[in-house]
Amino acid sequence: MTVTVTRTTVPEHGIVRYASIGGLQLEAGGYLPDVTLAYETWGTLNEDGSNAVLIEHALTGSTHVTRGDTEEPGWWEQLAGPGAPVDTNRFFVVSINIVGGCYGSTGPSSPAPDGHPWGSRFPLVTLRDSTAAEARLADQLGIDSWFAVLGGSMGGARALEWAVTFPERVQRCAVISVGAASTAEQIAFAQAQTLAIRQDANFNGGDYYNGTAPEEGLALARRIAHITYRSPVELDGRFGRSPQAPESPLQGEQLAARGRYQVESYLDHQGTKLVQRFDANSYIAITEALMSHDVCRGRGSLVQTLSSSSARFFVAAVDSDRLYFPSQSRELAQALPGEVDVHLIEAPIGHDGFLTEIGQLGNQLREHLSA
């Protein structure tokens, strides 16, 4: 990240830091020695450590939630920042790159003990494992209990896992655009994405770091994912059947020579953008972590599982979401103790509305975070 400092003091807010949390024994049986977590913070932790808020990123998100001491826009500016619902003038806000990622935390591209990238040797890390890792970082930061943990999509799944795994450490929990577990359909979409990468000719079983990266496979994975992030109304309204001028989908002496529809060009663009900023192995590792999402695993029914948490819950969904259906959010809310409403973001865009339209829930989130 390029940091532009606009004042003479040393930048502190929205700057990536790194912490070593030691070895991590993993739920599936693997082991990672000397794990590093990359993280960013905004605001100031008060004396008793009671104003800390953890914001969990989604699948390919980074730790850069909001600007802080940089000029780089964050990916959830409507949610966090000075005067925002998660007010960085009031709260000490933390965001942590998930284990397996490629934005500074230990992942497949990181050096293994032999000095070479983990690559194909990187173990399966579940969301429960990532929560255990983050708890160690919280200890280092002097945070015994989070005032709130919140996130959308995979970030919401991570927030939910926090509330159940460490119930004594989470006072409020906001779960946005995700359910209690990844469904068979969601796993199916995810498998298609990981397989697109694994079948790239350059994948080499995951050991491609000294050669050509599997960019075509990663770009195809992103295309598949992005279709699930947007709604039919959004795609039809923006693109319809229009050609990508000056190309023509109905001209070309061979199939491979035809032009593209606008929607095809759009998906190509999304794939190219991700290739420029993300590692293919990390995409697989984090996608499989999301596939592992099941807050009830080994804990009983959903009602039994959620009863262990004393957190105040905030549940929200996007009305047009076709990846994580609002019905999954309603199922989660109904299983929570007490009366928990499902707040609806009204957006034709689909799943990505949890990012672009989170401002619709600003007042509700402020109320949730009120003392």
Which residues are identified as catalytic? 153, 321, 351
- Beta-bridge partner residues of 94: 41, 54
> Which two structure tokens, joined as six digits, stand for 201?
């000719």
Residue 142 CA to residue 50 CA, distance in Å, equals: 10
- How far, in Å, are 214, 282, 295 from residue 218 at the CA level? 6, 10, 28
Distances (CA, A) of 325 to 249, 315, 339: 33, 13, 20
User: In whole angstroms, how far apart are CA 109 and each of 57, 59, 63, 121, 313?
Assistant: 19, 17, 18, 10, 36
Going from the C-alpha of 237 to that of each of 230, 231, 241, 355, the distances in angstroms are: 11, 10, 10, 20
- 312: β partners: 172
Beta strands in the chain (DSSP E): 17-25, 31-42, 52-56, 80-81, 86-87, 92-96, 148-152, 172-176, 312-318, 342-345
Cα–Cα distance measured from residue 299 to residue 318, given in angstroms and rounded to the nearest whole number: 28
